[in-house]
Structures are given as structure tokens and as C-alpha cells.
Amino acid sequence: MLAVPHVQIIERLRWGVHSWVKSRPASPAEAGKTAGRAAPGGFAPREKTILCMMASLLALMFVFSLMLGRRIMPPGLVLKVLLGGIWPLDASLSRDAEIVILSVRLPRIAAAMLVGAALSTSGAAFQGIFRNPLVSPDILGVSTGAGLGAAMAILYSLEPVVIQAMAFTFGMIAVGAAYIIGSWRARAGGEAVLILVLSGMIIGAVFSAFISLVKFTADPYNILPAITFWLMGSLSSVSAGDVSLVSVPILAGLLLVHSVRWRLNVLSFGDEEAYAMGVNVRRVRFAVIAGATLMTASAVAISGVIGLVGLVAPHLARLLVGPNYRVLLPACMLVGALFLLVVDDLVRTLFIAEMPLGILTSLIGAPFFIYLLSNLRKGWG
């Protein structure tokens, strides 16, 4: 009882945000009428307000990010070029500005938003199915698997698109292996979720041993630095083609996880309760793992390993809208996109020699993680 849960602080902050967005209903009876009342499949007014504000902020940040770079572009020019990209009208626009904005900055910014949304959503979804707020998207070994795939492709100096394909494939293989081993061992009895986490850890350990093996055999002058740099995570070499290629699986994964997001709530109460409430736990869990893995593997394939986004962004979103996945997942998507966009802007503009994105996300995310650790009340549910 004495351990003041971070939950309480979050709750208080959340109310703070709410009362700022819209004054809190005066009486409990009134609250009963407005709060939580949702149109079929929709959001309560307060939730809608917060989501709209976040979406507008993201749109603003998107335009602002297009302005940023070695050459600062005025917002008017950015908007004109953007509109021209869809529907070319203004022939007077400079060709240079068009190339810089549409071919250089736009793919990278779109990639940052997609990767951020994917990592944040899968982090939040995994925290729900594993009933632990400290879980990140890598828990089943997707990043380690992707790392191994990429490392092997780099070892044989394969094309960038092959590196991405290998990263994606091995990310999926790692999680697939963890899932199969987990379900197989769980059939013999025991806590299914715990067994799944443990088999994810084992798979992660095995795959990272193989990464070390690849690094060990790699040429230390050319190949090894390339592998190391890939593992640090960066968006600097993302092309428009990469973005459109991975946007399909990322959007599919987002859609899949979003379609079961309300059911995800029930899973955080434990398998038995969820079964007793009539939820097909195994099916929902499979949908979440499949969707989350699909998008994380795709994200990692173009960005490399970017740490702590999948942990920090869900908690920021929880501060804003609370823990109900029905509204939390859309919020997560927006916060994750915004978070990675801002951090990548810092990476692009703050340093002359570009720093890998993964380093900065971890440096920013670490203090938050430590704060969460000190407030951890219980372990595996």
C-alpha cells in the first residue's frame, strides 16, 4: 500500500491534461453521463480532443521537419512543393528545392514517422499481452533476429535491398521460433506467457551469439564497421523506395493490432480471466504477436535497431489518454511517430557528423526507463 505507484502519478497527470483540454465534469453523476460514453466504435469527446490535438501537432511537426536541414526552407515553399508533388501546378518552383524536400527529406521523415509508430504500437501491445509495463518490442527476439539477417547479408556484401529482406525475414524467423517453442512447451502445462517470454529470451541469446560469430569472422576494416553501424540504427540512408516498400507491412501490422485493441485490455488481467470472459486468448495473442512482429521487423529492416522508442512512447501515451487500449493504441501510434520524428530532427540538425539515431533515442529514453524501474511494483502478472 505504501509503495506510491507511478500509476497514481500517471493518473494525476492524466487528469491534469484532461482538465486542461476540457474542464473536468463537475459532479460524479455528470461524469457518469459524459466520460467513457462512446459512440459505437468511436471515442469519447475528451479522447477525441486529445487524439486530434496530437494529430495536428504531428502534422505541424511534419511540415516543420521538412523545413529543417542544412538549408532551412520557408514553410510556404515546403507546402507548395508538397502540393506540387501531388498535383504539379506551379512550374516556377526551383528544381533544387523539390529534390531536397521530396527526394531527400520526405522519405527520411516518412520513415521516422512509420518506424516510430510501428515500434511504439508494438511496444504497447506487447506490454499488454505480457502484462508488464517494462516490456519492449524486442522481447521475443525480433531485433536480434533482424540484426543477424542484416549482419549475414552485410558479411557477403549483398545489395541494400537484400540486407533489408534478410533483416525482415530473420526478424520474423526469430519470433516464429520463439512462438513455436513457447506454445510447444506451454502445452505440457505452465504459465503460457512466462514460457513464451523465456523462449523469446533464449532465441534472442542464440541469435545474438550468431551475430557475434558473424562479426568475429567479418573483415575488420570494411565489413565489421558496416555491421556495427547497422546495429546502431539510423535513418540516414533511407530511400523513397524503401519507405513505400515497408509501409505496406507496417500498415498491415498496425491494422491487425488495432483490430483487436479492445480485447488486448482483457489479456492484461491474465489468461484465465480472459478465457472466462469469453475471449479466445490464444487467437488474440497470436494476432497481436503477428501484427507487432510484422511491423517491427519491417521497421528494423530499414532503420536498424532503435532502442527504447517502444518503451518510452507507450508510457508517454498512457500519460495522455490512460491505459485503455481502445484509445491508447491510436495515441501510441501518434506519440511514437512524433517522438522519433523529433529525435531524428535533432540527429539531423544538431551534429555536424551525423550520430546514429539509436544512440540518441536510448540516451533520451534511459532516464525515463530508470524512473519506471524505481516505481515497479510487481513483476510478471
Partner 1 sequence: MDDRRPALLEVFEASCGYGDRIVAEGVTFAMDHGDVLCLLGPNGAGKTTLFKALLRLIPLREGRMRIHGEDAAAWSRRRFASVVGYVPQAHTPPFPFTVRDVVVMGRISRVDAFGSPTGRDVDAAGEALERLTIGQLADRAYTELSGGERQLVLIARALAQEPEILIMDEPTSNLDFGNQLMVLEHIRSLARDEGLGVLMTTHDPNHALVYGTKAVAIDRKGAFAVGAPETVVTEAYLKATYGVASRMLRLAAGDGGAAMVCLPVAWGDPAHCHKSTDGRRA
98 binds partner 1 (CB under 8 A): no
241 binds partner 1 (CB under 8 A): no
Interface segment toward partner 1; rule CB under 8 A; list 26-34, 201-209, 219-227, 297-305? 26-34
Interface segment toward partner 1; rule CB under 8 A; list 45-53, 112-120, 202-210, 263-271? 263-271
State which of positions 162-191 bind partner 1 (CB under 8 A): 189
Among 17, 35, 79, 319, binds partner 1 (CB under 8 A): 35
**Spatial contact of 145 and 207, defined as CB atoms under 8 Å apart:** yes
Chain mean position to CA 318: 14
Q: What is the 3-state composition of the chain as percent helix, strand, coil, each rounded to the nearest 5?
A: 75, 0, 25
307/369 Cα distance (integer angstroms): 11
133 binds partner 1 (CB under 8 A): yes
Size of the site for partner 1 (CB under 8 A): 47
Name the residue nearer to partner 1 (CB basis): 230 or 325: 325
220 binds partner 1 (CB under 8 A): no
**Spatial contact of 361 and 306, defined as CB atoms under 8 Å apart:** yes
Interface segment toward partner 1; rule CB under 8 A; list 29-37, 167-175, 295-303, 334-342? 29-37
37 binds partner 1 (CB under 8 A): yes
Sign for the pseudo-dihedral over CA of 282, 307, 12, 376: positive
Name the residue nearer to partner 1 (CB basis): 235 or 288: 288
54/220 Cα distance (integer angstroms): 45
Contacts 24+ apart (CB under 8 A), 10-17: 10/318, 10/319, 11/322, 13/319, 14/318, 14/319, 14/320, 14/321, 14/322, 17/50, 17/319, 17/320
8 binds partner 1 (CB under 8 A): yes
7 binds partner 1 (CB under 8 A): yes
Q: How far is the CB of 30 from partner 1 (least distance, A)?
A: 11
Q: What is the CA radius of gyration of the chain?
A: 22
**Spatial contact of 160 and 226, defined as CB atoms under 8 Å apart:** no
88/302 Cα distance (integer angstroms): 29
259 binds partner 1 (CB under 8 A): yes
Q: How far is the CB of 361 from partner 1 (least distance, A)?
A: 24
31/36 Cα distance (integer angstroms): 9
Interface segment toward partner 1; rule CB under 8 A; list 124-132, 142-150, 290-298, 350-358? 124-132
**Spatial contact of 170 and 146, defined as CB atoms under 8 Å apart:** yes
Q: Between 266 and 295, how does the x/- string for binding to partner 1 read (CB under 8 A)? A: x-xxx-xx-xxxxxx---------------
State which of positions 319-348 bind partner 1 (CB under 8 A): 322-324, 326
**Spatial contact of 301 and 245, defined as CB atoms under 8 Å apart:** no
Q: How far is the CB of 259 from partner 1 (least distance, A)?
A: 5
56/210 Cα distance (integer angstroms): 44
Among 32, 74, 75, 85, binds partner 1 (CB under 8 A): 32
263 binds partner 1 (CB under 8 A): yes
162/153 Cα distance (integer angstroms): 7
Name the residue nearer to partner 1 (CB basis): 37 or 71: 37
Angle of helix 325-350 relative to helix 240-259, nearest 10 degrees, comes to 160
Name the residue nearer to partner 1 (CB basis): 228 or 324: 324
**Spatial contact of 232 and 305, defined as CB atoms under 8 Å apart:** yes
Interface segment toward partner 1; rule CB under 8 A; list 78-86, 145-153, 209-217, 262-270? 262-270
Interface segment toward partner 1; rule CB under 8 A; list 72-80, 197-205, 265-273, 354-362? 265-273
Burial class (CB in 10 A: 0-12, 13-18, 19+), 1: exposed
132 binds partner 1 (CB under 8 A): yes
Angle of helix 325-350 relative to helix 309-321, nearest 10 degrees, comes to 130
31 binds partner 1 (CB under 8 A): yes
339/117 Cα distance (integer angstroms): 9
Chain residues in the site for partner 1 (CB under 8 A)? 5, 7-8, 10-11, 28, 31-32, 35-42, 127-128, 131-133, 189, 259-260, 262-263, 265-266, 268-270, 272-273, 275-280, 318, 322-324, 326, 377-378, 381
